[in-house]
A and B are shown apart, each in its own frame.
Chain A
Amino acid sequence: MNFDFTPALTDWTALLSGAIVTIEVTVSALVLSCLLGLLIGIGRLNPDRKIAYGVCSVYLSCFRGTPLLVQLFIWFFGLPRFGILLPAFVCGVVGLGMYSASYVSEIVRGAIQSIDRGQMEAARSLGMSSRQAMLKIILPQAFIRMIPPLGNEFISLIKNSALVSLVTIHDLMHEGQKIISVSYRSLEIYLVIAVIYWIMTSVTTLILRRIELRMKAGGMVQ
């Protein structure tokens, strides 16, 4: 069996531009996912607020309960039927972001609920409104606890982003497949792509570890 990596090497600029698109899609989706996830997570804190809780629960159930690929196809192939034509990049970011937001919302809710009840009581007993207490006391502490699970979610997002190649976004996966279609060196190209994804997730892991160590050194977590 002979390996031939020359197609990957000669077309390295295509793979590089694909990798950049992958990072752009992932980071944009993460921003959307965090903002939306925060809202939905907070919406599910209090079951007594029936409307907010209900809407957020339905969201969670739908977006976590169906395959990402199906959701992406609905955005890309389904919406044009209603006259809504989103650019492929937007479809990819919205699809990935809204899917991921369902997971982030549970991270947010879990982190907030893990903060000791006494913190809210102490803030309220000073005279803070529940909104002030949430913003100044609870969320800053919850954010710190969210960082490790959010890191995991970011890594999942990097890997899941390969699916956006199927809605014509020219990401790493897409560029790789283009090279395969002319060189027929599928094993080699997929191996190279895998290594590039692995580098991206590993760098993310390293950065996260640094952040966690720094938080420990700062006494912010035990």
Chain B
Amino acid sequence: MTAPAMIKISRLHKSYGSNDVLKGVDLEVDLSQVVVVIGPSGSGKSTLLRCCNGLEVAQRGTIDICGQRLVSDGRLLAEKDLNKLRTQVGMVFQSFNLFPHLTVLENVTIGPRTLRGMHAAQAEDLARQLLAKVGLAEKADAMPASLSGGQKQRVAIARALAMEPQVMLFDEPTSALDPELVGEVLNVMKLLAKEGMTMMVVTHEMGFAREMADVVVVMDGGRVIEADVPDVIFKNPKEERTRSFLQAVLKKEG
């Protein structure tokens, strides 16, 4: 018997007014799996990810995550349970969203201190460990405004990890970065993947998808058009739309 999926999305529909963004998406992420979602902009991949921690509410279909029903036909989990569930689901945003009024260290400790009832010293130990892990131990006392984009995103990852989540969601984590800073963030993500973190990643970094993904999911027009291991997707995709999307992206990458 296989373990139940960490994330199970079934027939998810989401629309903004008359604009259908998700048109019946099915997707599973198993324990310790890295699932990378790719697709043209407007394909609904970021919306799908944001639905997975209740930042967006899908009107139809269900999402189960960490063994709990997050959303069912437009009904989100009750507020208290939702907050509890979110502590187990880490989220990394395209625009980092670090708390600018707090130091780097405080950005990482605020989660465990506020939500896990951790003592100051204990939370600080944890935060320093995590900052060392993302290569920013010496920046603990800096303010976010003084960091580069790549450093900000690595702090954001440490902040999410401080909750010791079971799943990590990455919403285009490198899209706002200068090209030379992308690598440092991807390296941290690779480290997490190797440690067995369950990850769902929306990205345009095809190199990361090829190297780290267990499954690559291709979305277009609010639907999953293809999902398979990277070898198949990148070398021998079944769908014409996958092929043309990859051609366009890979040409740009040169």
* Chain A interfacial positions (CB closer than 8 Å to B): 116, 118-119, 121-129, 132, 136-137, 140-141, 144, 219-220
Contacts and interface: CB of A to CB of B under 8 A. Distances in A.
B47 interface: no
A118 B93 contact: yes
Interface stretch (B97-105, B179-187, B205-213): B97-105
Contacts of A219: 143, 145-146
Contact of A128 (B83, B89, B159): B83
B111 interface: yes
Contact of B86 (A125, A136, A141): A125
Given A127-B87, A136-B110, A122 B99 contact: yes
A73 B110 CA distance: 49
Contacts of A136: 110, 114
Given A137-B99, A144-B101, A126 B53 contact: no
B120 interface: no
B114 A124 contact: no
24 contacts: A118-B97, A119-B99, A121-B55, A122-B93, A122-B98, A124-B83, A124-B86, A125-B53, A126-B87, A126-B110, A126-B111, A126-B114, A126-B163, A127-B83, A127-B84, A127-B85, A127-B86, A127-B87, A127-B111, A140-B101, A141-B99, A141-B100, A144-B101, A219-B143
B34 interface: no
B91 interface: yes
Contact of B83 (A116, A129, A140, A141): A129
B232 interface: no
B252 to A, nearest CB: 27
B253 interface: no
B79 interface: yes
B95 interface: yes
Contacts of B89: 125
Nearest to B100: A141
Contact of B115 (A118, A127, A220): A127
Interface string B52-65: 01010000000000
Contacts of B146: 219
Interface in B133-166: 143, 145-146, 156, 159-160, 163
A128 B95 CA distance: 19
Interface string B210-234: 0000000000000000000000000
A128 B101 contact: no
Nearest to A130: B79
B23 to A, nearest CB: 24
Nearest to B89: A125
Given A127-B83, A140-B101, 8 more contacts: A122-B97, A122-B98, A124-B55, A125-B86, A126-B87, A127-B86, A127-B115, A141-B99
A220 B143 CA distance: 9
A125 B101 contact: no
A128 B163 CA distance: 11
Contacts of A123: 99
Contacts of B111: 126-127
B115 A116 contact: no
Contacts of A132: 114-115
A46 to B, nearest CB: 15
10 closest A-B pairs (Cβ-Cβ)?
A127-B87, A122-B97, A118-B97, A125-B91, A127-B86, A126-B111, A127-B115, A127-B83, A219-B143, A140-B101
Given A118-B93, A118-B97, A219-B145, A126 B115 contact: yes
